[in-house]
Amino acid sequence: MDNKVIISGIQQVGIGIPNLAEAFGWYNKYLGFDARIFDDEGVAELMLPYTGGKPQQRRAILAMNMRGGGGLEIWQPKGREQRKPEKQILLGDLGLYVAKYKAGDAQKAYEELKNKGADLLSEVMTSPAGVKHFFLKDLNDNILQIEEDAYRFHDPKKNIGGVNGLIIGVSDMERSVKFYGDALGYDTVVNDSEGVFDDFAALPGGAHKVRRVLLSRSETPKGAFAPIFGTSVIELVQAFDYTPVKIFENRWWGDAGYIHVCFDIQGMKALQNRCEALGHPFVCDSNDSFDMGEAAGHFTYVEDPDGALIEFVETHKVPVMKKLGWYIDLRKRNPEKPLPSWMLKAIGLKREKA
């Protein structure tokens, strides 16, 4: 696999929060993230360029919604106060702005969340790409978007699923479209529109003129966990009538907000060569295997053209049933072949009621 890159999909979006237990409970109750894949406490030693030059203690939970879609790495710094943005983040500010989530029926999802008392920001709207969606906030004021998307892996009774992608603020649309296409395979322009958009009106800065480009992948997802992650999209937004700021200006990785987006991959060396050729070398590298107690693999990071952090994880080992010592070792398998459906479903056997 040294000469081929497989990007299976969005493994997770990392989100810095002040109280891990409360956040996990919220995402479990409102969005159905009830499968805790790992819960690890330790020291982030390899992210020094983004943590003030010093290792930082943290606790992280990786949670999945087995309906299908990416997961969430809920991340809490330990031993220091988490910093929020100095100013309100606006649509078009540079970096990871909104996490998108799948729903089989957007209107039904809206009613479900309204009945649960969620902090809804908009009614159900239709995007220029023809996608029904709406916005809400989590308990820490992070903005979420629920999008109608038919993909399902499991859990036939669930309407709301996992991560479907992100809205990312950029400063140069052409440069960013090239990066996300060439580096990550989001090579299909679903929609490219410019103006003031009614379906963005509920967002801070949503009354400004922007260009928005929705990207998808032409390649069918492959790899061990591809059936869980499914399809995903990236929506890039460039502001025109105000000067955007970096969302993580003067802050560290692990501070409040969306800290990274992580892709499940195979072929790390080939991916490194690809990113270097594009002018985006790895900025952090675990150099083969890291161990988070319950999962192991090789992780690296790159920056997008505006400095947003993108993580790549080549998974080596993942727990299925920890109490029985049942782990899946992926290093001896065909990297393009998905794990059997029953085995993937077993990863989410342990559910936690909200």
The Cα-based distances of 345 to 151, 302, 306 in angstroms read 16, 31, 37
Answer whether residue 354 is part of any domain.
no
- Rounded Cα–Cα distance for residues 272 and 277 (Å): 9
For residue 167, tell me if it sits in a domain.
yes
DSSP character string of 35-86: EEEEEEEEEE-S-GGGTTTS-EEEEEEEEE-TTSSBEEEEEEESSSPPPPPS
Distance CA 314, CA 297 (A): 5
Q: Does residue 276 belong to any structural domain of this protein?
A: yes
Alpha-carbon distances of 292 from 1, 59, 143, 184, 325, rounded to whole Å: 24, 11, 28, 25, 15
**Is residue 240 one of the residues assigned to a domain?**
yes
Classify residue 47: in a domain, yes or no: no
Q: What is the pLDDT along the chain (354 residues), one digit of tens a residue?
A: 457 999 999 999 999 999 999 999 999 999 999 999 888 888 888 899 999 999 989 999 999 999 999 999 999 999 898 999 999 999 999 999 999 999 999 999 999 999 999 999 999 999 999 999 999 999 999 999 999 999 999 999 999 999 999 999 999 999 999 999 999 999 999 999 999 999 999 999 999 999 999 999 999 999 999 999 999 999 999 999 999 999 999 999 999 999 999 999 999 999 999 999 999 999 999 886 655 555 578 899 999 999 999 999 998 877 666 666 667 778 778 889 999 998 888 877 778 887
**Contact indicator for 208, 91 with CB cutoff of 8 Å:** yes
Domain ranges, residue 244: 6-41+56-319+328-347
| Tokens (6 digits) for 135 | 């916005």
* Number of domains observed in the structure of the chain: 1
CATH (domain of 214):
3.10.180.10
Q: What angle do CA 197, 161, 14 make, to 5 degrees?
A: 80
- 46, part of any domain: no
In-domain check, residue 116: yes
Distance in angstroms (rounded) separating the CA atoms of residues 122 and 109: 13
Dump pLDDT digits (tens) for 202-251: 999 999 999 999 999 999 999 999 999 999 999 999 999 999 999 999 99
Q: Is residue 48 part of a domain?
A: no
Strands 143-148, 210-216: pairing is: unpaired
